[in-house]
Amino acid sequence: MRRALFLLPLLCFAAVATWFAFGLGRDPSRIPSALVGRPAPAVALPPLEGAQRPAFALQPGRVAIVNFFASWCAPCKVEHPTLMRLAAEGRIAVHGISYKDAAADSARFLAQLGNPFETIGWDRDGRAAMEWGVYGVPETFVVGRDGTIRHRHVGALLDDTVARVLVPMVARLERE
């Protein structure tokens, strides 16, 4: 029994190392969603105070992306320039939902890094995120002109993914 106790650290380490090995060769951003093909959940969120944008609302007839972010999230900082560029191109409507974050912190995040969003919802307790099936931040959804979710991207959205996946997809959705 005493010996088994001394084996415990080794077993824990073996488990962790196995996970590490798993983590090495995966493409982390591909993940199916039960919501793809379904209408985007209707969520009523207050606007983000201090961000000078209207409350989150999707505009029917326009392809949109919806990005869940938070000021405490490091990958969100990484993907932010990509969102800024997407917004600057003006082709896609970029909407944001601040996830489990103090309004002042989210507003500061946007004031400092720039605000790519047309409308912003403040999801203080993560209720809306649950409706959308979000695991954590950042996550990004593509919504078609008919208001259905077409694609889900988990993790930081990088320029490479945008060029490879998002741009062709949006072009297709706009023709629909």
Partner 1 sequence: MPAEIGHVALLLALAAACLQSVLPLVGAQRGDARLMAFARPAALAQFALVALAFALLTWCYVVSDFSVANVFQNSHTAKPMLYKVTGVWGNHEGSLLLWVLILALFGAAVAAFGRNLPPPLAARALAVQAMIAAAFLAFMAFTSNPFERLDPVPAEGRDLNPILQDPGLAFHPPFLYLGYVGLSIVFSFAVAALVEGRVDAAWARWVRPWALAAWASLTLGIALGSWWAYYELGWGGWWYWDPVENASFMPWLVGAALLHSAIVAEKRDALKSWTILLAILAFGLSLIGTFLVRSGVLTSVHSFASDPARGAFILAILAVAIGGSLALYAWRAPTLKPGGAFAPMSREGGLVLNNLLLSTACATVFVGTLYPLFLEGLGGAKVSVGAPFFNATFVPLMIPLVAAMAVGPFLAWKRADARAALRRVALPAAAGALAAIACALAAPPAPALAYVGAALAAMLAAATIGEFAARAGTLRRALGLPRAAWGTAIAHLGMAVTVAGVVASAAWQSESIGLMRPGESVSIAGWQVTFRGTELARGANYTARRGLFEARRGEGSALRLSPAKRFYPSTGSTTTEAAIHGSILGDLYVTIADPAEAGPQGANARFLFEAPTDAAWAVRITHNPLVAWIWAGAGLMALGGAVSLTDRRLRVGAPTRRLRTARA
The contact set with partner 1 (CB under 8 A) reads 2-3, 6-7, 9-10, 13-14, 16-17, 19-26, 28-29, 31, 50, 70, 72-78, 84, 87-88, 100, 104, 107-108, 111-116, 135-139, 154-156
With vertex at residue 96, the alpha carbon angle to CA 75 and CA 32, rounded to the nearest 5 degrees, is: 65
86 token code pair? 């997407």
Of 63 and 110, nearer to partner 1 (C-beta) is 110
Given a contact cutoff of 8 angstroms between Cβ atoms, the answer to whether 124 and 49 are in contact is: no
CA distance 141 to 154: 9
153: tokens are 């991207």
For partner 1, the closer CB: 26 or 175: 26
Nearest distance from residue 175's CB to partner 1, in Å? Answer: 26
Minimum separation from the CB atom of position 74 to partner 1 (A) = 5
Smallest gap from Cβ 154 to partner 1, in A, equals 4
Give the nearest distance from C-beta 176 to partner 1 in angstroms.
Answer: 26
Min CB(142)–partner 1 separation in Å: 16
Separation between Cα atoms, residue 114 and residue 40, nearest integer Å: 26
* Ramachandran class of 126: left when φ > 0, alpha when ψ lies in -120 to 50, beta otherwise: left
Q: Which is nearer to partner 1, 59 or 147 (CB)?
A: 59
Mapped onto helix, strand or coil, the DSSP state of residue 42 is coil
Across-strand partners of 47?
121
116: left (phi over 0), alpha (psi -120 to 50) or beta: alpha
| Residue 100 vs 147, nearer CB to partner 1 | 100
Cβ proximity to partner 1: between 21 and 42 the closer is: 21
